[in-house]
Amino acid sequence: MLGLMVLLAACAGTPEPAQDLNQSAWGAQTQLPAESAAGGSSGWRQRAFPGKSATVYRAALKNGRAALSARATQSASMMQHRMRIAPQALGRLAFSWYVPALIDGADMARRDADDSPVRVVLAFDGDRSRLSPRDAMLSELAVALTGEPMPFATLMYVWCNQCPQEGVITNPRTDRIRKIALESGGGNLNRWLDYERDIRADYQRAFGEAPGPLIGVALMTDTDNTRSDAQAWYGPLRLLPVAEPAQADVGSGG
| pLDDT tens-digit readout, 123-178 | 999 988 888 888 888 777 767 766 667 789 999 999 999 899 999 999 877 888 99
pLDDT digits (tens, 9 = 90+) for 195-221: 999 999 999 999 999 999 999 999 999
What average pLDDT score do residues 22-42 get? Answer: 73
Percent of the chain scored above 90 by pLDDT? 60
Q: Is the pLDDT of residue 73 over 80?
A: yes
**How far is Cα 207 from Cα 154, in angstroms, rounded to an integer?**
10
Nearest to 95 by CA among 84, 81, 105: 81
**Average pLDDT across the chain, whole number:** 85
Is residue 222 classed as helix, strand or coil in its secondary structure? Answer: strand
Span of 72-81, 93-102, 105-114, 144-153 with lowest mean pLDDT = 144-153
The radius of gyration of the chain's CA atoms, rounded to the nearest angstrom, is: 17
Q: How many degrees, rounded to 5, is the angle at CA 98 between CA 216 and CA 68?
A: 50
Q: What torsion do the CA atoms of 103, 69, 31, 21 make, to the nearest 10 degrees? A: 140
Q: pTM of the predicted model, to two decimals?
A: 0.85
CA 65 vs CA 44, 60, 94, 192, 233: distances in Å: 19, 8, 15, 9, 10
Sign of CA dihedral 47, 184, 245, 63: positive
Walk me through the domains of the chain, giving residue ranges and CATH numbers.
2-240 (2.60.120)
